[in-house]
Amino acid sequence: MSEREVAVTGIGMVTPAGIGREATWDGLCAGVGLGAYDDELAGLPVDFSCRVPGFDGGELLGRRITWRSDRFIHLALVAAREAVADAALDPASWDGARVAVVIGAGSNSGDCWPQEYKHLAEGRIEAISPTALPRSMPNMAAGEVSTDLQALGPCLTTSTACASGATAIGVARDLLRSGACDIALAGGTECARVPMASAAFHRMRALSQRRHDPAGASRPFDADRDGFVLGEGAAMLVLERPRDARARGARARGLLSGYGASSDGYHATRPNPDGAGARRALESALADARADVSEVHHVNAHGTSTPLNDQVEATLLRTVFGTPPPVTSLKGVLGHSLGAAGAIDAACTVLALERQIVPPTANLDRLDDGMDLDVVTKAPRRHRMEGALSNAFGFGGQNAVLFFRAV
């Protein structure tokens, strides 16, 4: 291990594939899309999503926390607790002042606001909840995780649209490198399946219209893709300097070796067709890791299932690699959890390296013409890997790429 790298010693996840790291991995390897009718979106033009099954925040966390906070926070707390336990860390005994929290969120929560705006429109000011603001602010996921685990070092929130979770992991890595903390808990969280998000993305023509087949609606790189499927979820990674992990006898699941970020500077919602901004982020991640393209044996693609984004990413990979290594997109199974997606992808990239298995891309029946990618589909693929990239791109031209190495 290089001391420029940081060790991933714990992983926690809550996704539409299940509650927990192993449930998520098993669901991804099953390779079946999880889109389904969502009664919270009833009556809207797009009334399906990918939802975390059986998630009861009150049961998992207690009523006090869930009363004062929204669902995106509940998801983050459950994932954070699992990650810390996986790292064999005990918040009761650690030096909390040396533990950082960095969590990405694409926007503020949409859970509580419809009811509060209704009260406002009716002139019922006294009916507006005093928790409406703090429960929905994007920084409150990090704040609640910090309080819950007594992680009292730097507590930050990154908001780079659908790259937010990946950006958070990169920022946390930089905090460790700088000496600002000894442990960093980093990831992303989002509950994207709310009525306003569905209506707004529908008006942008970004969502799949496959109401007759919600499970088959998210189709990254498929010739018949027509948009993404809203999802939700959270993923958290525990990051430590390798020497600190070794000193306490901790197991490293993988190594974060490189991080690159850039801006397209092109359009509010569309990626630059030439992929130049994303390429800068990818090449920066490799340069940061002191690696070259020959050391990349797998790419966990952003792969949203939208026509333009998938085409631009495919062009990027062909341009950089010539013949790209095996590619997958988790969004075929999980849908798109926006600010959480980059963290979920990163966590699963680490697991793929650890287990030497690439999970399949769901619903890919016919690769779009001209893409010329080796996309893993139908079944998991056992594949020898020493290094892998995790891509995350978002509105505003935000790009974040992480490079991981196997231990």
> Catalytic residues, which ones?
162, 302, 336
SS3 state of residue 392? strand
Q: Spell out the residues 6+ positions from residue 99 whose beta carbon is closer than 8 angstroms to its own.
A: 149, 151, 152, 153, 181, 182, 183, 184, 185
CA–CA distance from 58 to each of 33, 111, 140, 246, 253 (Å)? 28, 16, 18, 37, 31
Joined tokens for residue 104 = 């990405």
Helix (H, G, I), strand (E, B) or coil at 251: coil
Q: Phi, psi (5° rounding) for residue 273?
A: -60, -25
Q: What is the DSSP letter of 48?
A: E
For the chain, the residue count is: 407
- Give the integer Cα–Cα distance in Å for 158 and 327: 27
Instruction: Give the whole-angstrom CA distance, residue 220 versus residue 362.
Output: 8
Mention every residue, 6+ apart, whose C-beta is less than 8 A from residue 97.
152, 153
Helices 307-321 and 276-289 cross at an angle (nearest 10°) of 50
How far apart are the C-alpha atoms of 85 and 175, rounded to whole Å? 22
CA distances from 241 to 6, 257, 287, 304, 386 (A): 5, 11, 20, 32, 20
Give the closest residue to 170 by CA, choosing from 84, 104, 106, 105: 104
CA 58 to chain CA centroid, Å, is: 24
Question: Which residues are registered as beta bridge partners of 158?
Answer: 104
Question: How far apart (Å, rounded) are the C-alpha atoms in residues 196 and 124?
Answer: 22
8 A C-beta contact, residue 375 and residue 367:
yes
Place of tokens 């030497």: 356
Query: Largest Cα–Cα distance in the chain?
Result: 63
Q: Which two tokens stand for residue 14?
A: 């809550």
Residue type present at position 385: M
